[in-house]
Structure 1
Amino acid sequence: MSAAASSLLTEDQFLCSICLDVFADPVTIPCGHNFCKTCITEHWDKNVQCQCPNCKKDFSIRPELQVNTFISEMAAHFRQSVQQEASNCSSEQQVSKPEKVPPDVSSRNKLKALMILLVCLMWVFTVWMVLNQKKYVVVVVKEDYEEKKAELWKTEAEIQQMIQKRRLKTEEIKHSVELSKENADRETADGVQVFAALKEFAERSQAELIYTIKEKQRKTEKEAEGFIKELEEEISELKKRSTEVEQLLQSEDHLHFLQSFTSLNATPPTKDWVEVNIHPPLYVGTVRRAVNQLEEILNEETTNLLLAERQRVQQYAVDLRLDPDTAHWCLILSDDGKQIYCDTERRYVPDIPNRFQRHPSILAKQSFSSGRFYYEVQVKGKTNWILGVARESIDRKGDPLMMIPQNGYWAILLRNINEYKALASPPVSLYLKSQPKNVGVFVDYEEGLVSFYDVDAAALIYSFTGCAFTEKLYPYFSPWFDFDGGNSAPLIISAVRDTN
């Protein structure tokens, strides 16, 4: 072993007092003592109080560790010397056993000797492998380093790309939240404004109703007061006459009696009160008329809200095309894939799994598994049709009468010219003020909402709510059969007209 190595093995200042080994990443604490960074860190982690293991100096807070550059360089030099000693030892001993370490060597020298011994043993094992396998193993450290470094740079680039993607997604989510808040604020403001207007109108209508009722009562009371006044005047006059008659009856003056008899014998002129009556005013229709006025205002506001709602859903308009591979054999498609009608003449089409077999139905080519979408269909001139959405796994060969949400359909229908139904379970009859010529369909996948609109009347036809969508959804169309020629008009996927 070289003098430098021997000198290092005997110098306490280059050995960690915790692990008794050459410093690894040596650091200095405020009291000036040095330790391996890992040793002092683990020592303080295990003890509540931060204290120097050598001088026992206490620190109120854990000191910041300072790298000891000098000792670090010296420790590196020591390791290099040990490796050189190990190399020399291996050259001298070849495959023979290494010499035993004298038993009286210090504990520190024992550790260093053990290190040398391990290096020697590793070298002897390498020689054995080479001699027995009869081949040379050349480890090109630099080349391996460059290769691994290139791989690590690639990994670093991938990590940075992943970070960037997640940052972009974070910004996208934040932007969505901001849009959601803006929409919520706008919707709240619109709602407050509408309900404030309705409240004002309702209060005004209530005030007018109360005024009308009170005015009728006032007129009745005034008329009654006039009658009462007349009656009281007549009563007073009659009482006066009654007094005069009583006085005359008590008179013993025959001449005066006869003279007064003529004037007092007749009753005073009075009004015939038999036909006079006070009729309480009738309020029939007063409240109803007020409610009708309120209903008119509500209908007007509802129409305005629906117009605004339709304008909002228009932004989710999609350009649909019908899928011929799903069309029932009786259906005829236009070249642009936008129109569909039923032909009673049977045509041969291959019976593929996607095709409807028992009822005249067809799906769009496009499917949706998230987000929102909206489209419009012209139904003008038809006496029967079905519109809506269907999940991908619906039974396309089965019974057409079981088109309900439990079986994967969310749809409405027209039957026999003017019988509208929502195909819920059980079906819901729909009473519409007018027959729609164009039907709008809006779907919010995450919200579980499917709504149908009368486009021209700006009226909501029906909404399925609380739907649990777990599969792809396809727009669904059925122009139905044309048995007598009265249902020959096509269903047409219309371009959504901008009503903004």
Structure 2
Amino acid sequence: MASSSSLLSEDQFQCSICLDVFTEPVSTPCGHNFCMACISGYWDTTDLCQCPMCKQIFHLRPELKTNTAFRDVVEHFKTIRIRDTDTDESPAEAGEVSCDVCTGTKLKALKSCLECLTSFCETHLQPHQRVTGLKRHSLINPVENLEDRMCKKHDRLLELFCRTDQTCVCQFCNETDHKTHHTVPLVLECGERKAQLGKMERQIRQMIQERLEKVQEVKHSVELNKKDAEREKADSLQVFTALVHSIQRSQADFIEVVEEKQKAAENRADGLIKELEQEITELQRRSTELKQLSHTEDHLLLLQSFPSLCTPKHTKDWSEVSVHSDTCLGGLRRAVSQLEQTLHEELEREVRKLCDVELKTIQQWSVDVTLDPDTAHPFLILSMDRKQVRFGGTWQKLHDKINKLYHPERFVNNLSVLGKEGFSSGRFYYEVQVKGKAEWLLGVARESINRKDAINMSPVDGFWSVYMRGENIYEAYASPPVPLSLREKPQKVGVFVDYEEGLVSFYNVEARSHIYSFTGCTFTEKLFPCFNTCDEELGPNSAPFVICPVNHAD
């Protein structure tokens, strides 16, 4: 079948200036048509106003206006040309909707009519585009099973939606079974559903974006972990290499000492052997002389030589002489003991180096901690800037508009105060000066801790803390408490928490050493910095806790 535009020639709708289909066509007084922009541009470039086609000269430049009727014809031609270009007159393939009107080979349907309940190919659809009555029909993209859009009970088109029963109904259903229900046109319900879908789609896009960001965060964490692992491997290689070198040096020194002792023993033995051989030679000579004299027949010679031969020359008493070395008598034990001391010193030096690197790393997660006065025991005195707290010894009067003594967040049995901000993820670090205190307890606490009763401040009760009392008694408040042996008394304590890792670590900041770590913890709620000043039972204890700014250059 010939296309709809086959009777129309493109030359009839072509501007002679741009050689393309007219855009905003205008007509000159001589009757020729041009694009508005083309003829205006042509006249702007010449002093003579004339028609490009017939060369008729206009003494006054005509006032041009769009030929609306001709423009509509041109636009219709463009539409037909585009449709003819896009029209697929090929037979319907598997999975495609076929035309219900075609006989013989079924062509691919272009539209489906909701009133006719029929799908049409491009050719059979033309009446719906031409006939006035059919133009009012609702056309949609081709779909299968149009009968599913009919009410099974009344054989009428489903054009309403019952919000009460959440189902599609026809007009008869609305007047009978659903008469008292809330029904709306399908288009209205679809509009609201599309709005909901749009909202859901935006939420899903947001969720996708959040997960993409989380993917990048995880990848970044993997990269950081990889770098940390490489750094730890390098540090471990340095430490163990230093230890191996120490062992090798100790082994070499021990072997050198053993060899020197062995050489000295050999030299002494050589001297003794020479001395013994000389005495043996002398004794052999005397033995020969005695033997000869005992067989002589010269009586006078025997009597004259006897006195000198019977008085032996001085010989050494060799019964107490021995050759030995002390290499096997404690030498190895002493070497191993010395090695143990050397390794301990080497380990201590390397651990201090690693701890220094570790502190510098975790200090990047330092946070600004301030004290929460609503949690402070009435015996405690807080500074104006909420950076210091000390044991006051007397019950503090609360001058609030309301009595906050029994504030639900306040400690009334433990001499404690919490930080203002809590943390429920990630890592955080802060430093506290404990200088001058005779007794203190420091750490972190979960949000739901019991603040009214006397409890053990251990992980079982929601505390992860280190305790100090007296001159040099330190404990990690685990269950049971773990005694700590510290070489140096901390003046400033650093507290580090890795929420996801379940880690709480304490450091002697000035000594750059590790104090203790709680590992394998499981956190399910917010953690708050916790400060227990303790009382003065062990002596004066008025020195305050001071929350210090972290010096990243340490």
Secondary structure at 1:412's aligned position in 2? Answer: strand
Matches within 5 A, 1:152-231: 152-231=197-276
Secondary structure at 1:271's aligned position in 2? Answer: coil
1:417 lines up with 2:462 in the alignment: no
**Cα distance change on mapping 1:145 and 1:483 into 2, 3 Å:** closer
Deviation per CA, 1:230-257, whole angstroms, max 9, x where unpaired? 1232123212212321321232321120
Contact 1:209 1:290 in 2 (8 A): no
Shift in Å at residue 204 of structure 1? Answer: 2.4
Shift in Å at residue 148 of structure 1? Answer: 5.2
In structure 2, what is the equivalent of residue 239 of structure 1? 284
Gaps of at least 5 residues in structure 1 are: 1-26, 40-67, 83-110
TM-score (norm 1): 0.73
**Cα distance change on mapping 1:237 and 1:408 into 2, 3 Å:** same
In structure 2, what is the equivalent of residue 399 of structure 1? 454
**Cα distance change on mapping 1:343 and 1:203 into 2, 3 Å:** same
Q: Which amino acid aligns with 2:461?
A: N
1:251 lines up with 2:296 in the alignment: yes
Q: 2:549 aligns with which of 448, 471, 495?
A: 495
In structure 2, what is the equivalent of residue 370 of structure 1? 425
Q: 2:509 aligns with which of 428, 452, 455?
A: 455
1:430 lines up with 2:484 in the alignment: yes
Shift in Å at residue 377 of structure 1? Answer: 1.0
In structure 2, what is the equivalent of residue 323 of structure 1? 372
Shift in Å at residue 310 of structure 1? Answer: 0.7
**Cα distance change on mapping 1:354 and 1:33 into 2, 3 Å:** closer
In structure 2, what is the equivalent of residue 94 of structure 1? none
In structure 2, what is the equivalent of residue 293 of structure 1? 342
State how far apart, in whole Å, the 2-side matches of 1:297 and 1:131 are. Answer: 95
Q: 2:381 aligns with which of 332, 336, 347?
A: 332
Contact 1:387 1:478 in 2 (8 A): yes
**Cα distance change on mapping 1:138 and 1:273 into 2, 3 Å:** closer
State how far apart, in whole Å, the 1-side matches of 2:546 and 2:147 are. Answer: 93
Deviation per CA, 1:117-170, whole angstroms, max 9, x where unpaired? 9797438x84696699999x9976666666655554444444333322322222
Q: CA RMSD in A?
A: 4.1
Q: Which amino acid aligns with 1:468?
A: T
Secondary structure at 2:116's aligned position in 1? Answer: helix
Q: Which amino acid aligns with 1:218?
A: K
**Cα distance change on mapping 1:189 and 1:119 into 2, 3 Å:** same
**Cα distance change on mapping 1:274 and 1:420 into 2, 3 Å:** same
Q: Which amino acid aligns with 1:369?
A: S
Q: 1:360 aligns with which of 415, 419, 426?
A: 415
Shift in Å at residue 496 of structure 1? Answer: 1.2
**Cα distance change on mapping 1:468 and 1:159 into 2, 3 Å:** closer
In structure 1, what is the equivalent of residue 22 of structure 2? none
Secondary structure at 1:353's aligned position in 2? Answer: coil
Secondary structure at 1:390's aligned position in 2? Answer: strand
Shift in Å at residue 330 of structure 1? Answer: 0.9
**Cα distance change on mapping 1:280 and 1:346 into 2, 3 Å:** same
Q: Which amino acid aligns with 1:395?
A: N
Matches within 5 A, 1:46-57: none
Q: Which amino acid aligns with 2:379?
A: C
Q: Which amino acid aligns with 2:296?
A: S
**Cα distance change on mapping 1:69 and 1:299 into 2, 3 Å:** farther
Deviation per CA, 1:211-270, whole angstroms, max 9, x where unpaired? 212222221232123213212321232122123213212323211202322331221233
Q: Which amino acid aligns with 2:524?
A: T
**Cα distance change on mapping 1:221 and 1:122 into 2, 3 Å:** same
In structure 2, what is the equivalent of residue 58 of structure 1? none
Contact 1:28 1:34 in 2 (8 A): no
**Cα distance change on mapping 1:198 and 1:33 into 2, 3 Å:** same
**Cα distance change on mapping 1:351 and 1:237 into 2, 3 Å:** same
Q: Which amino acid aligns with 1:236?
A: T
Q: Which amino acid aligns with 1:436?
A: P
Contact 2:439 2:538 in 1 (8 A): no
Shift in Å at residue 331 of structure 1? Answer: 0.6
Contact 2:150 2:156 in 1 (8 A): no
Q: How many residues align?
A: 419
Q: Which amino acid aligns with 2:209?
A: Q
State how far apart, in whole Å, the 2-side matches of 1:113 and 1:488 are. Answer: 89
Matches within 5 A, 1:100-115: none
Contact 2:495 2:504 in 1 (8 A): yes
Contact 2:89 2:108 in 1 (8 A): no
- Percent of matched pairs sharing the same residue: 46
Gaps of at least 5 residues in structure 2 are: 1-87, 99-104, 120-144, 158-169, 399-404
In structure 2, what is the equivalent of residue 390 of structure 1? 445
Secondary structure at 1:122's aligned position in 2? Answer: coil
Secondary structure at 1:322's aligned position in 2? Answer: coil
Contact 1:382 1:417 in 2 (8 A): no
In structure 2, what is the equivalent of residue 49 of structure 1? none
State how far apart, in whole Å, the 2-side matches of 1:113 and 1:426 are. Answer: 77
Deviation per CA, 1:256-302, whole angstroms, max 9, x where unpaired? 20232233122123335466454532526333223322322222111
**Cα distance change on mapping 1:490 and 1:117 into 2, 3 Å:** closer
Matches within 5 A, 1:298-309: 298-309=347-358
Contact 1:28 1:35 in 2 (8 A): no
